[in-house]
Structure 1
Amino acid sequence: MRAKYALAMVLAVSFVVSPCLAQNRIKLPPKPAATSAPAADEVITPQSGPIPDSVIKAIEAQFANEPKSIQDSISIMKNVLDMCKQAQKKYPDADNISKIQVPMLQAASWIAGYTRDPAANEEMLSIARQILASKSPVAQKFSADVILTIASFQPLDGPAISNEEIEKNIRNFIARYEKTDVAPNAYMVGVRL
């Protein structure tokens, strides 16, 4: 049952995050330069100012890599996730931090969907909560909210909620975006759920 909801989360991200990437008109280079995330044990000194465009482009370029297997896909997404985490640590107060949040959420959802690992799923939910609590644009908060709404249907640490509660959660989700630019998307996702 939980695998069904993990798959639903991955599908939701595919339907929601991909259009958000398109709305932001992210142009990915056809052949990315070989880029890797900094070592996990590397000491990072926080800096002020925005995340440099070169860092954002290096993260975006990872999505242009062509995986040859599911393991390659997971490896690429883990690299994206690591790069985003490093950027967050290095530029904690950046006014453009939202530019790495969508790729971060997308990578985390791919990892959770492919590995079916509860820790990866919890990391995806944690990133979604972080985005929802941030000053990110409504389109990015919407993507995170989709994931959290779906996750509310069957918490990993408890039984599934009733159909009435699911319906209530979906209606509340739609209502949260009623007067925003993503209202049609919220309605469409609500109908699909």
Structure 2
Amino acid sequence: MIGKLSGVVDSVGETEAIVDVGGVGYVVACSARTLRDMRPGEPARLLIETQMREDAIRLYGFRDAGEKAWFGHLQSVQGVGAKLALGVLSAFAPDELARAVAAQDKAMLARAPGVGQKLAQRIAAELKDKAGQVALGPAAADVVAVPGAAGDAVSALVNLGYRRAEAFAAVAKATQSNGNASVAELIRAGLRELGR
């Protein structure tokens, strides 16, 4: 099993790159975000997930542990394979994906190529616990777990026209600095965060 590659970028295509490691060129499929950071001739360090099938061995490369973790989480959802998981990671950075899932923002998730409304709903529902507790830290977990004032503040910001994931992130940050704030205080603090 290959877990990491460190070498020099030989070439970059639309969906994969060739990384030269000691004279051996490894073909690595990556998200568009990761590929954009790679330039031929420059050093590359990728975390790797190796997938072995009867007819092929595929390498998937990630620039950080967060992207690799979300690749695995996404594939745990029925109907999401490696290609679709890379497509979702091409559309969203890991922190954006975590906020969308934790906030249950199905409309945002459906903007990823190949993800329709039903699949977006399945991704949001099945990965909610992972996003709220792991990727966003304790403040976000509080917003997910306690719908009270924080949930009302998110709802109010959404009604003002902000996307659910944006509102969720702003209220999570406001909750961090204003632990026992009222709904009105969280809305004001959330609006300040959104204005930055």
Question: Normalising to structure 2: TM-score of the pair?
Answer: 0.28
Question: Normalising to structure 1: TM-score of the pair?
Answer: 0.28
**More helix by proportion, 1 or 2?**
1
Higher RCO (C-alpha 8 Å, min separation 6):
1
